[in-house]
Structures are given as structure tokens and as C-alpha cells.
Structure 1
């Protein structure tokens, strides 16, 4: 059965038995999210929640390359460059979807096969049943494009073990299935070849099935994800990333022997200095926050200000437009980014996203 009322070419809604299927359908763009997709997703999820015949909702992506590579940053880049006043509308519609997923009343199953980055983490990792495969490549890579982790990542990452979330947020590095589970961004490993059978089995559940029922079905397909690289290096990560300034973190990395510390230091050196400092401040604030809504509001405030500054456009240019992988950040060094420079990113001049949750 297809939900014709909200179907578009870029996101498809269907049913397999009692399971509602949300399929992101932009495989050539790695299923990156755009405004039309998130706009269609909200009413569909509301209908699924209210349909007594639906047992669970399953999120998947078309093609074999990934669930979702994030938001369509090219579109945001173009709107921002053109001075379009509607440039933040995508986030205004996307962030409430993340909140809806986090509090969804029915079992929500995300099939995190292949690339899951940025906004892809947002539509997956807030769910209650998050499945990774041997092909999973998960990351919050925003510091590499002059941006910051958003979609509620500053609520999720601080709740990873120790300083694992700080490492992920600052470096933006890709991790696999075992690391995603270790970081608390996924729950179970299922081989990619078994996802089709798993979907069919979930569709055989009776309406009104509980999260425990869904988990029991997934357990029947689950396997061992292998060894977590981040778990192996957790002591070092906790020791180095416990500091509250990026400068102190880099100084600590310089005292650590071994390839992992050297690689981490080299990665951070390529990131936007402004984004690094903003990200660390957001992660530390997220650790003390009352809940997801507070983090989403704060992320939106910072993101809106980033659109008025050069690094985001330079980062997207280097990564997506010209693809020269050689961004020229301004300011170019951490020392040139002062606390006063950062403060202005946290001053909201816009309507809040969740007026019913005024803080």
C-alpha cells in the first residue's frame, strides 16, 4: 500500500504487512535530505502513529551506498549565497523531525546500512532500534565544512562513553558498525544481506506490538559487530579530550605517542578553527542540557549565525562545489578565534523552533 497523499519521487512511503516503510529515494545524492523530503516525512509519521494497523516504522535508503549522507548542503549553500531569507527553513522543518523520532510512540527501526552522516544520524540515531551493518560508515563530519554537529548530535554525542563523543564531534571521522554501537549511536549489528528478510519479519508482527516484540525479531537476525577501534583507544581519548579548550586538547595530543594520536592531531589541524571551538562549546553545553529540545534550539541559533560567515561557504565550496579539498579558513588559526568571537553565535535573533517547550 502506498501513501499517495504525501508520496514524492524523493521519499517513498509504503507498507510491508504491518510495518510502515519510509524509503529515502535520492540514491545518486546518497539519499541526502532536502526540504521536500522532510516536509513530506512529518505528516506521514503522524499518520503512521495514529494508524492502529501499523506495528512499527522502518527507515531505509534506496541503493546500496547509504541510508543518508546528511542534509543537502549544496542547496543551503546556494540559498545562502543568493541571500534568500528562507535559507534556514530546511533546519526549521528538519529539527522537529529529529524530535518526533526521539519521542515516537511506536517502534522506530532505522536500517543504517552504508553511509550515515550528519542529517542521516539525525533521522536514525534518535530512534529506539538502530541497526548497523558491515557497510556502515557513520560520521558527524561538520567541522570539515565550516559547520557544527546539529540534528540533536550535541545531545547524543555527550552521552557516548567518556569523551568518545568529543572525539567524534571534533574530528568528524568515519566510524564503522562496532564503533557506532560503542558510541551509543546504534544498537545492533545485522549483516546487510539479511535486512530484506528482517524487514519482512517485522512486517509479520501484529498491530500493537511493543518495542520488546520488535527487539526480539531483530535479535533473531543480529550478529557480532566485531571489535571497536574507539573502545581500544578509549583511555587515550578520555585523557586527551577531557579538556575544555581545543588548544589544550591539541597540546595533550602532542604528548601522546602512537599512530592514533598522530592521525587525530593531523585530522583536527585540517578542520575549521571556528567550527572546532564552536563544536566543543556546543558539546560541553549539551552535556549539561535539560534535554534534546534545548540542544536543538542552541544548534539552530549557531547554525543561523554560521550562514552569515565565510567558513561554511568555503567549506562547502572545497568539499562539494569545486571539490579541491583545500578550504582556506578565516580565521586560519585557533589563536585568532576569541571567546568574544564565539559568543555572538549563541545570541538568538529568531523565532524558537519549539515554542511549546520554552526554556
Structure 2
């Protein structure tokens, strides 16, 4: 008899490596609460197992590692269940994100194909992050009335200049070179070589295996756009960001402005504040605590339920945001997302010191 989530996360060990495979290909390996629990348990066991020297994380299917959390379940819970199940899911998911970030053994995340939302959380906090020519990495939450979570505001806050602000607000998916530029990945490996790399990790340490497979990534697009991105997204408000983007001659800037005007106005404003406060908070754990407040507040918002309905449930792609415009979103509306949760706070003890990675 299988436990919940067991068949959705496949575990095996071979030689010196432990392999964790997300196994919901029809749902693009979207994470459920049971899957998060199983991953956490496996990592805890492998940490104590001296035979396991490396952990390798992959996804089943050709489409990608993981499309994020199971937002259909979140939609139903927020709509009819008061959001309690989603809040508990996020509590355990964010703890897992922190665990991955401080995992004491090489954690090799194979970020092939689509890696979005919660998929970024189980990969981009790892110590060895591999992208391919098929990788599409994104935090697209503003499109569903939500804000980047799973430590996403921490990761994007560390990106050069204002690249992270651009990605956080627009939800733009980036390829391998741009993921490397933004600090969301470490190495490019052609997808056709992945099976050999993954197999070799059972027999040799990461630092010996990687050089045989790592190549230069195909060119990206963000480096050439840095000038206008840094200038536009340095503005103090989302309204000013949009105004600056519209004033740029670059077609991509105009496209970014149009994208922002289709996103949830509230989510955009909350995300901009969250990202800038994340930079000041510094520690991932403190940022995750902030993101938990934001996520829990979103459960009682109109835009999260409406955004998921429009994009995923009914798929009419015409969300009716409330408030409908940036000008209507007040400072008080934004601050509600950062309000303390009292006894329900997510409390993550900071790491004693920065971990020195030996590989």
C-alpha cells in the first residue's frame, strides 16, 4: 500500500548517489503537499546516510522539471475551504526550500524544460543547478494574482541590476543563458547529455563529472536589454515603471509595459515592495517568512482566486482584477499583505553561518 505522494516522487539510490524524481508528468510534475513531505523525508534520511554523497533531482516526462505548486488545489481551497490547507502546504514547502538551500551534500538540480514557481523552489536553491537549451525558468505569479514565493523574491533580489525586478513583475520565462546571468542556475549542459551525466554521478563526485559535460550556453537576450531594464525598473512605483517602459524606444520595453498592464495591479505592487524588502532582509529564511505572510494574505484576496480561474480553470485568459487599475491600489491595500500573523507566523531559524561549498 502506497502512502500519499509516494508514486508522485520516485526515490532510489545507486552507487554514491541518491535520485529523486518528480513523477506527475500529466500535471507537469506540479507539487502537492504529500510530495513536499516525501521530498523532505527523503532528504533528511539521505543527509544521515554516509553511502549517499550526492542527491540528484529530476522530473519525469519531456516537458520539464516542475511547473510549480498544484494551483488548482489552491484555488479550490481558497474558494471553499478558507485557505487552511494551502497555508499548511506553504509552511512545509518553504521549510523545504530552506532545507535545500543549506543541504550539506551536493544537491544537483536538473532544470530541464519548464521550471516555474515551486519548481524553482526545489531547484534554484540547490548547490549545483543545471540548465539546458530546453530550459524555461520563470516566476509567473503576478499573472494569477499572486507574488513570487518559495524564496523567489530572495533569488530575484540577488540578480544583477534590476533584472530580477523585471522577471518578478512580468513573469517572463528565461532560457539557459539568462538563467545563468540572473544567478538562477550554475551550468549549461546539452539536454542530450543529461542521461550520461546523471548516470555518472553514481560513480564519481560532482566536481569530477561536471567538467565532462558543461558547455557554453546559447546566447540569451537579457544582457543586451540591461540598460533599459535597469533604468526603468529602478523607479519607485509600478506606475512609474510602466511610464518609463512606455517612453523607451526598444520594442521589448513596450511589450513589457503591455504585459504589466495585464497583470494583477495588487500583485504587482505587493511584488515590488516584497522584492525590495527582501534585499534588505538578506537571509533566505527571513525572506521566506515575509513571503509566507504575503501568501497567506493572498488566500483571502479576490485576485488569487480570479487569476487561477482565468488562467487555469476556465482558461478564458481574461481575469477581472479588483482593484482593476494600479491607481486604485492603495498603500494600505499593499501593507495588508505584510501584516504579522501572530501565532501563525512561519518561524525559520537563521543558519549559524554561511555554508562553504566544498565541490
Displacement after TM superposition at 1:103 (Å): 0.2
The answer as to 2:215 corresponding to 1:217 is: no
TM-score (norm 2): 0.94
Name the SS for the 1:124 alignment partner.
Answer: coil
Task: Answer yes or no: is 1:136 the counterpart of 2:132.
Answer: no
Q: Aligned in 2, Cα 1:355/1:250: closer, same or farther, shift over 3 Å? A: closer
Q: Which residue of 1 aligns with 2:37?
A: 39
Q: Distance in 1 between matches of 2:179 and 2:30?
A: 20
Secondary structure in structure 2 of the residue aligned to 1:203: coil
Query: Whole-Å Cα distance in 1 between the matches of residues 271 and 63 of structure 2?
Result: 28
Q: CA deviation at 1:5?
A: 8.7
Instruction: Return the offset for 1:198.
Output: 0.2
The residue aligned with 2:295 is 303
| Shift, 1:345, TM fit | 1.2
Deviation at 1:220, TM superposition (A): 1.1
Alpha-carbon shift at residue 83 of structure 1 (Å) = 2.4
Q: What is the rounded CA distance, in whole Å, between the counterparts of 2:348 and 2:52 in structure 1?
A: 30
Unaligned runs of 5+ in 2: 352-359
Pairwise CA distance, 1:7: 7.3
Q: What is the CA-CA distance between 1:70 and the residue it aligns to?
A: 0.2
Does the alignment pair 1:194 with 2:173?
Answer: no
Distance 1:274 1:148 in 2: 9
Aligned residue pairs, count: 348
Give the corresponding residue for 2:119.
120
Deviation >4 Å, runs of 4+: 4-7
User: Please, which moves more after superposition, 11-20 or 177-186?
Assistant: 11-20
Equivalence for 1:172:
171
Q: Deviations over 1:77-126 (max 9, x none)?
A: 11111124333111011001100000000000000000000000010000
Aligned to 1:76: 74
- The answer to whether structure 1 residue 351 and structure 2 residue 350 are counterparts is no
Out of 77-86 and 44-53, give the one that drifted further: 77-86
> 1:210: which partner in 2?
none
For 1:214 and 1:354, locate their aligned partners in 2 and report how far apart those are by CA, in whole Å: 33
Task: Find the counterpart in structure 1 of residue 265 from structure 2.
Answer: 273
Q: Within 2, Cα distance between the matches of 1:224 and 1:355? A: 37
Structure 1 equivalent of residue 184 of structure 2: 185
Rate the CA distance shift 1:290–1:262 in 2: closer, same or farther, 3 A.
Answer: closer
Q: Does residue 1:320 correspond to 2:312, yes or no? A: yes
TM-score, structure 1 normalization? 0.94
Stretches of structure 1 that go unaligned for 5 or more consecutive residues are: 206-212
For 2:66 and 2:39, the matched residues in 1 are separated by 14
Match of 2:46 among 34, 45, 48: 48
Q: 1:195 to 1:321 in 2, by over 3 A?
A: same
C-alpha contact 1:6 1:44 (8 A) present in aligned 2: no
User: For 2:119, what is the secondary structure of its paired residue?
Assistant: helix
CA distance in 2, matches of 1:142, 1:243: 21
Aligned to 1:57: 55
CA distance in 1 between partners of 2:115 and 2:326 (Å): 29
User: Does the 8 Å CA contact 1:129/1:215 hold for their aligned counterparts?
Assistant: no
- What's 1:240 paired with? 232
Deviation of the 1:68 alpha carbon: 0.2
